[in-house]
Chain A
Amino acid sequence: MKRYRKVKFGLIFCLLFVLVFISSCAQEKDKTKEPLTLTVWHVYGEQTDSPLNDLIDEFNNTVGRQEGIRIQVAAVSNTSDIHDDVLRAANNEPGADALPDIFVSYPKTVLAMPDSDILVDYKDYFSEDELSQYIPEFIDEGVTDDRLTVFPVAKSTEIMFVNKTLFDRFANETGVTLDNLSTWKGLFETANLYYEKTGKSFFVHDYWFNYFQVGVTSMGEDFFDGDKVVCKDAFNIAYEQMAKASVTGSVWLEDGFATAPLRTGDAIVSVASSASVLYYEDKVTYEDNNSEPVEVIALPVPCFEGAKKMVMQRGAGLCTVKSTPQKEQAAVTFIKWLTSPENNVKFVTSTGYMPVTNEAFDLLPEAIDKLDNPKYKSLYEAYIKTQKEYSFYTAPKFATYLETEDSFEKGIRKLFRDAVTRYGQNEDCNFIIQQTYERLVNDVVKGE
């Protein structure tokens, strides 16, 4: 009897506890799950509409919502600024931002990091079978120290953009054709002619470093000896072809990207990344605030006469910073979603890139047919022609690549701006060209 009473007491106590427990739990009604938020720094749409931001919104509202992942864009920038900010953060410099979970970078940024082990090795998250779906060269490009740290999501190349409206106007007067722009020699001669006719620059190159790098290689010489630039015969040929046009003012040499002079009509032809199609506007605005609509077309880049047709292959990838396995897996989920054939084609055709998987390449022609914007259509026609006729050049990977590129780019522009000023002061053109070459080799290339 006594035992029964004890059991009864215990049961009542347990029942009371369970009742109170259930009643307290019953108050929770809102089941919205807190998302795992990943921050991202990317480069797709700086100073313009960002197609990647739109795709991120799509991911957040679909797969992300289902899997409790939210991608938050913390910065839309460019690879150079991201390189600086990543190194600043990785070196724990005072005032530096914390590294985001995902950032866009070239392998050269990873190589310059004090410890690249802070980045995820994607081989831990992608099976051999999954990786085999991607273009092998693109995957290889992202490997540093035997670890896949830069995952390809889109690849670009260099393309020539022409303001066809203004070019046609000039062509009608002079009889030049677009064929004149198929070689560097022809392009610079046309530039000189344009300058003579209009007093304005004709051509602008976003990457003079690549002009020399790819040009020298296409002529069969090495541009680099280890991590140093070497100036031999091919370098001299490349220099001679661009020098006269640059000294006389036929080439736009201000800092900044080619989109600016094409926007103001200060130049009408540019060589730039195919991804810069996003930034070219379909109008030119003059100083008196008058604007005119223009047609911008894309063509394969010029090449050197007698040299191999070669073009730079570009395109950064996504790096993921090591954190928790959940966050790393979430980042990989996003990357897999972004590089799935349909999404990848949608992404690249809105940003001027090429896809990174074999299957996406198969879907590309259909996607190009559906493009409304003639500028984008022209770009992909030029891209296909480039793929058929050109071989792709990939920049070497070494830690000081970016500094070398940066100092060359700034150095050569400054040298030729000075040269233009001297030419305007009636100094001898050949003398200026010779002196500028010596300064380029000694001050910029050798860094003396």
Chain B
Amino acid sequence: MKKRFGNIAKTIKVARKQNVTLRARMMLYLISMLLAAVGITVLVFVGCGMFWNEEDRLSWELNNHLDRVCDEVTSDMDEYEGYAYNLSQDIGGIIEDYMSDKGKSIDKLNNSSQGLLELQEQMYGKVYDTYMMAKCNGVYVMLDATANTGIEDAKNSRSGIYIRKGNSAGKVAKNPVLYRGNASLAKENGVELHTRWNPEFDINDMTSVKDGNGDMIWSDKEKLSGTWEDIIQLRTPVTGSDGQFYGICGVDLNSQYFQSKYSVHESQFGTIITVIAPVNDNVIEIDRGMTGDTQGTWLGGTEELEGRKGKKYITYSCENGSYLGVQKELGINGDDGEKWAVGVMVLKSTSMRQIHKKRIMVMIVVALFVAAMILLAFYLSRKFVKPILEGFEDIKDDGKESAQSELRITEIEELKEFVLSRKERKRINELPEKIEEMLVEFKNRTELLTPTEHIILNYYVKDYVLDDIAKEMFISIGTAKKHNTNMNKKLDISTRSQLMVYIELFKRCNRLEDIVYEPT
């Protein structure tokens, strides 16, 4: 591992020593500045809620959950309606058969305790089976007859069977207790009487009971008489094959059922709760409907949630806080044909806190990014200028520092090399001070030569020897030697070799014109 890190460090070191082009550095600098600018723009947009909008995500999450819950509720309600329909068919058949056997009509059962008990005994099996299968809180059949028309308030009293779950604890199906029905029925079937048992129904407790002409309906939330339980009832007419109204039957579900069935959904915006209730205008009346588990909220199930539709969700308000949610119409019939809806919602303050928390997180990340980009640009600008300055320093110092620079720019390196080579060349071309002096003195001395001696010097420049010079000048060798001797004296040299060194020096210095005689 250590070795690997060593290798990586080495690679980085080598890479750092690699020349980077000026163009690449400029590109990097520009990109970092551009990214910083983009970051600042994003920061402003996020801050204003125009970008990275968590509310869209909330809306998506709510809608997604609503679809799931709505499917579940619809499926459950359909199932209960199925059970209630089958029960009404079975009970209708039993009553019809009983009536036919006895040759009576339903109203003839009034004041016939024995007849009503017999009918209850025949119906009990179907009611019990429905209770066990439907896993609801209660199943009932209410007949359109009473055991005693002589009692006070007999017009509101109806015979029937109502069996219910004894308590709301646990999911395990428990034996029912008899809430309404003949006490003998309980004894015969080994069930206990409900603490608030009565032999007959009071139709005042079932506010939306119709005369049987209506469809299957779900009642509003009502208090189960004499108890703390809030229930909704599915009410289905029981009729004979000729359409004669025998009574109603159905199932009931209590608030604890909804609480455990529709538990809260934990989302990143807080706990999402479910409500199933009648809708009037923009108001979800959960005081008339049911709520799922309301953990994490102050909803007590007694509120009316007034909705204000927004672009992404509905804002619901009630005395127990504001909620953000979405709703969908449920395909069930309420009292008086009222429509019900399923709504899912989250406490507004919690979701807003989460949204702001996220927004701030994003803003901090973007701000850090912007800061990083600015720092990078700053760093790059420094790194961009530094090698140039170093390069100039290098040039000034004739490249003595070049070995120390790590971040090198190709263009600067090339420039440096160029300037240094030129300097070098120049340095090579310049003569030592003494030689210069010698050349100047020599030049000065040539000015003392006579024209003939200058001509002889010109021939030497052209690399002639003295014999050839004499021939060229059509003079004797003796005369030539004499002029040569005078010339040597004036030029302060003693041999031809010495002269030729001077000539060579002038030649190399491209300064031959200084000593060559140009006849006018």
Q: Which A residues are within 8 Å of any B CB, using their own CB? A: 13, 16-17, 19-21, 23-25, 27-28, 30-35, 37, 39, 41, 45-50, 53, 57, 60, 65, 70, 72-78, 81-82, 84-85, 88, 95-97, 254-257, 259-260, 263-264, 266, 279, 281, 285, 287-291
* Residue-wise interface mask of B (207-235) relative to A, using a CB-CB cutoff of 8 A (1 in contact, 0 not): 00000000000000000001110000000
Contacts of A254 in B (CB 8 A): 187
B349 pairs with A34, CB closer than 8 A:
yes
Interface residue? B321 (CB, 8 A) = yes
Contacts of A34 in B (CB 8 A): 270-271, 296-297, 347, 349-350
Sample (20) of A-B pairs whose CB atoms are under 8 Å apart: A13-B371, A16-B43, A20-B48, A21-B47, A27-B356, A32-B298, A32-B320, A32-B349, A34-B350, A45-B228, A77-B168, A85-B170, A96-B171, A97-B170, A264-B183, A285-B198, A285-B199, A287-B113, A287-B182, A289-B148
Interface residue? B280 (CB, 8 A) = no
Contacts of B171 in A (CB 8 A): 95-97
Q: Say yes or no: A16-B40 contact (C-beta < 8 A), given A21-B360, A41-B169, A85-B170.
A: yes
Q: Considering the chains assembled together, what is the distance between the CA atoms of A290 and B228 in angstroms?
A: 26
Q: Say yes or no: A57-B197 contact (C-beta < 8 A), given A30-B348, A47-B227, A77-B169.
A: no
Q: Chain A's nearest CB lies how many Å from the CB of B47?
A: 3
A95 pairs with B172, CB closer than 8 A:
yes
B167 pairs with A81, CB closer than 8 A:
yes
Q: Say yes or no: A32-B294 contact (C-beta < 8 A), given A287-B113, A289-B146.
A: no
* Residue-wise interface mask of B (127-154) relative to A, using a CB-CB cutoff of 8 A (1 in contact, 0 not): 0000000000000000000111001000
B151 pairs with A260, CB closer than 8 A:
no
Q: Which B residues are within 8 Å of any A CB, using their own CB? A: 40, 43-44, 46-49, 113, 146-148, 151, 157, 166-172, 174, 177, 182-184, 186-187, 190, 192-200, 226-228, 256, 259-260, 270-271, 293-298, 300, 320-322, 347-350, 352-353, 356, 359-360, 363, 367, 370-371, 374
A255 pairs with B170, CB closer than 8 A:
no
Contacts of B182 in A (CB 8 A): 287
Q: Chain B's nearest CB lies how many Å from the CB of A141?
A: 23
Q: Considering the chains assembled together, what is the distance between the CA atoms of A31 and B352 in angstroms?
A: 10
Q: Say yes or no: A287-B183 contact (C-beta < 8 A), given A28-B356, A32-B298, A76-B228.
A: yes
Q: Chain A's nearest CB lies how many Å from the CB of B42?
A: 11
Select one of B190, B198, B200, B300 contacting A255, CB under 8 A: B190
Q: Considering the chains assembled together, what is the distance between the CA atoms of A420 and B363 in angstroms?
A: 82
Select one of B147, B183, B348, B360 contacting A32, CB under 8 A: B348
Contacts of A35 in B (CB 8 A): 296-298
Q: Considering the chains assembled together, what is the distance between the CA atoms of A122 and B356 in angstroms?
A: 39
Contacts of B194 in A (CB 8 A): 47
Q: Give B152's nearest chain A residue, CB to CB.
A: A291
Q: Say yes or no: A48-B296 contact (C-beta < 8 A), given A17-B363, A97-B170.
A: no
Q: Considering the chains assembled together, what is the distance between the CA atoms of A395 and B200 in angstroms?
A: 41
A28 pairs with B352, CB closer than 8 A:
yes
In the A-B complex, the 5 residue pairs with the smallest Cβ-Cβ separation, listed nearest first, are: A20-B47, A77-B169, A256-B192, A75-B169, A47-B195
Q: Considering the chains assembled together, what is the distance between the CA atoms of A92 and B186 in angstroms?
A: 34
B199 pairs with A289, CB closer than 8 A:
yes
Q: Considering the chains assembled together, what is the distance between the CA atoms of A50 and B297 in angstroms?
A: 22
A21 pairs with B363, CB closer than 8 A:
yes
Q: Chain A's nearest CB lies how many Å from the CB of B420?
A: 31
Select one of A30, A46, A97, A263 contacting B166, CB under 8 A: A46
Q: Give B44's nearest chain A residue, CB to CB.
A: A20
B352 pairs with A27, CB closer than 8 A:
yes
Q: Chain A's nearest CB lies how many Å from the CB of B510?
A: 49
Contacts of A32 in B (CB 8 A): 298, 320-322, 347-349
Q: Chain B's nearest CB lies how many Å from the CB of A168?
A: 24
Contacts of B374 in A (CB 8 A): 13
Q: Say yes or no: A46-B170 contact (C-beta < 8 A), given A33-B349, A289-B147.
A: no
